[in-house]
Amino acid sequence: EAQVTQNPRYLITVTGKKLTVTCSQNMNHEYMSWYRQDPGLGLRQIYYSMNVEVTDKGDVPEGYKVSRKEKRNFPLILESPSPNQTSLYFCASSSKAFGSYEQYFGPGTRLTVT
């Protein structure tokens, strides 16, 4: 089954404690990205990757890091989480092969930073 998986689904942590949210897709997609969803703001892109070893900032990259060492994986790293990073996070992937870049989303990770 074609899918995007994320782990963990729920995470409660404290300010300053480094964490990683994993993302993996099994569709051989070139493009992967991370979004955060906040009430009234929709989804905003954090980082994206056009392919292996090619990453760049989205609209709200402050406080986040990513890496793309393998095509299928795109982890999101919070080196020193702060309460304003409490949010719902989605990983997404898509392929330029179809031109429209229809995106497939993971189930989401709800992060709470206290």
Q: Which residues bind other proteins (CB under 8 A)?
A: 4, 31, 33, 35, 40-45, 48, 50, 56, 58, 90, 92, 94, 96, 99-108
Question: To the nearest whole angstrom, how small is the minimum distance from the Cβ of residue 21 to other proteins?
Answer: 13
Question: To the nearest whole angstrom, how small is the minimum distance from the Cβ of residue 105 to other proteins?
Answer: 4
Token pair 């999101």 is found at 76
By C-beta, is 85 or 93 nearer to other proteins? Answer: 93
Evaluate whether 27 touches 93 at the Cβ level (below 8 Å): yes
By C-beta, is 85 or 109 nearer to other proteins? Answer: 109
Evaluate whether 92 touches 33 at the Cβ level (below 8 Å): yes
Question: To the nearest whole angstrom, how small is the minimum distance from the Cβ of residue 16 to other proteins?
Answer: 28
